[in-house]
Amino acid sequence: MKILFTAFEAEPFVKTGGLGDVAGSLPGAVSSSAFDVRVVLPKLAQIREKYLKKMEFVTSFEVPLGWRKQYCGLFTLKMKGVTYYFLDNEYYFHRDQVYGEFDDGERVAFFSKAVLELILHLDDFLPDIIHCNDWHTALVPVFLREQYREVPGFLDIKTVFTIHNLKFQGMYSDFVIGDILGLQNTPAEKQLHSDKTTANYLQGASLYCDEITTVSPTYAQEICMPYYGEGLDWLFNKRRDNLVGILNGIDYKVWDPAKDKDVEVPYSYEDLFGSADAADAGAKASATKGKAAGTNGKSAKNALTKKEENKLKLQEELGLKVDKDIPLFVIISRLTEQKGLDLLTYLLPEIEKRDMQLAVLGVGDKEYEDAFSYYAGKDPSKFAARIEFRHALSHRMYAGADVILVPSRFEPCGLTQMIAMRYGTLPLVRETGGLKDTVNADNGFSFLTFNAGDMLYAIDCALDVYKNHPKRWREMMQRAMTEDFSWKASAKEYRKLYNRLAGK
């Protein structure tokens, strides 16, 4: 089975969010002796230097795009059993930012077209499936059916289109349909139009692909409703038989508190609780507490667990009051409306009154950046705001925190709650999308209605358990750390889907 997996970003080359995590780990998880998975990415200026040096130039070809013919260089690199192809065009991909350029509509159209042209230049690889991700690659199924159906073998290629976030659809003036896409006077002209004057790339993919997937089962149901459907619920209802939700996993090699190079004091489940053998994990937890922390003659009661050591170091790094008994809440997120930060900023005066700390790592909308920065300036012993995107610090925050807040308005899957749980940090989430599929009363805290009062109630519950029921807190940490969020189960689901589509 040959799978060509395509996305605009992938770890470890370029990552701006969850798509990068998924595209970086899913192909490796799916690939096996029976599944030859290859990944095609744009050769973006943001790719880290050490990977650029390892790439080999293969060939170059021309990509037709409307009336244009554009150069495309092909580079390749093999890593951890997966073959990567990088499509090069300095004009389109050598930009200051990955997304947000004035001509994104043309940049992603070029990329999608080049993915199909690439196949013409691979001697040994005609894919059974092309797996596209988000609106940046949404035109692949459209071009495939409208412009490449005559190419021998291409009619048999099946396409999977995964929606990582329906909010972003790639909508442009319908001028692009003829001028850039070269799809005037084809059925695609109608299928791409979301209104009289707008072309919607994601709508096109959702109509042309063979199967639509979302990154959690709950999100697949939600997008069929007007509240979550972003104007396309009609389409998902129409294609309900070809819509399935498969929960994302996280890369257990990247996110492993025992081997994490960015964490000050790496720790495993056993370090915190003794044997993973569940029987009387609670009792073992207290028995190993002293041993794990290396008591150096101190009484076990006062000894710190390795997680607590990380917490103290994190509090110090962030300039917070250093005290292991103050519950430390964190946010590691894009600071946008989707992430429910209006609830949190509304609650900042309430949080200020409580015995807790809040540290934010994120970039995004100025109103949120300013609100968190304001409170960090006002009371730096309680609040910290790091307005930046910093991998290493995120790892230390997952390790050092007690609670991660994910109060999203909607959440296709969400990775931060799963990563946090692996690090023994309990999630406090709104019950939506993948958050609902991964967090329950035994491994975290949640609230249903998108309402600041309900969120505050959940925060107070978490504070109560932290302060007054330490045994329960430890049990919840144990539960969180032993959840299986690896790619194993999901990779199996994807393999099943590929087999079904390809009729194998």
Residues in touch with ligand ADP (CB under 6 A): 17-18, 21, 165, 332-334, 361-363, 389-391, 394, 413-416
Helices 139-147, 201-208: inter-axial angle, 10-degree rounding: 60
Min CB(25)–ligand ADP separation in Å: 11
Q: How far is the CB of 395 from ligand ADP (least distance, A)?
A: 8
By beta-carbon proximity to ligand ADP, the closer residue of 69 and 391 is 391
Q: Closest separation between CB of residue 215 and ligand ADP, Å?
A: 8
Residue 70 or 338: the one with the smaller Cβ distance to ligand ADP is 338
The distance of closest approach from Cβ of residue 193 to ligand ADP in the complex, given in angstroms and rounded to an integer, is 28
Q: Which of 485, 472, 398 is nearest to 442 (CA)?
A: 472
Among residues 454, 476, 445, 466, the alpha carbon closest in space to that of 356 is found at 466
Shortest CB 468 distance to ligand ADP, Å: 30
Task: Kindly report the backbone phi and psi dihedral angles of residue 427, in degrees, each rounded to the nearest multiple of 5, phi listed first.
Answer: -85, 145
Indicate the residue among 17 and 66 with the shorter CB distance to ligand ADP: 17
Query: In 3D, which of 443, 401, 394 has the Cα closest to residue 418?
Result: 443
Q: Which is nearer to ligand ADP, 203 or 248 (CB)?
A: 248
Contact 462, 480 (CB under 8 A): no
Residue nearest ligand ADP by beta-carbon distance: 18
- Report in angstroms how near the CB of residue 363 gets to ligand ADP at its nearest: 6
Q: Which amino acid is it at 24?
A: G
| Least Å from the CB of residue 345 to ligand ADP | 17
Least distance (Å) from ligand ADP to the CB of residue 47? Answer: 17
Q: Which is nearer to ligand ADP, 18 or 204 (CB)?
A: 18
Nearer to ligand ADP, 288 or 425 (CB): 425
Nearer of residues 21 and 260 to ligand ADP, judged by Cβ: 21
Q: DSSP 3-state helix, strand, coil percentages of the chain (rounded to 5)?
A: 45, 20, 35
Closest to ligand ADP by CB, 252 vs 389, is 389
CB-based burial of residue 445 (10 Å sphere; 0-12 exposed, 13-18 middle, 19+ buried)?
Answer: buried
Q: What angle do CA 84, 89, 94 make, to 5 degrees?
A: 95
- Tell me whether strands 211-214 and 158-163 are parallel, antiparallel or unpaired: parallel
Task: For Cα atoms 76, 415, 104, give the angle at the middle one, nearest 5 degrees.
Answer: 50
Q: How many residues does the chain have?
A: 504
| Residue number, 144 or 403, with CB nearest to ligand ADP | 403
Compute the least distance from the CB of residue 464 to ligand ADP, in Å: 27
| Cβ-proximal residues to 14 (8 Å cutoff; 6+ apart), any chain | 20, 41, 44, 46, 47, 48, 98
DSSP result, 68-98 = EEEEEEEEEEEETTEEEEEEE-HHHH-SSSS
Torsion of CA 317, 321, 326, 327, to 10 degrees: -40
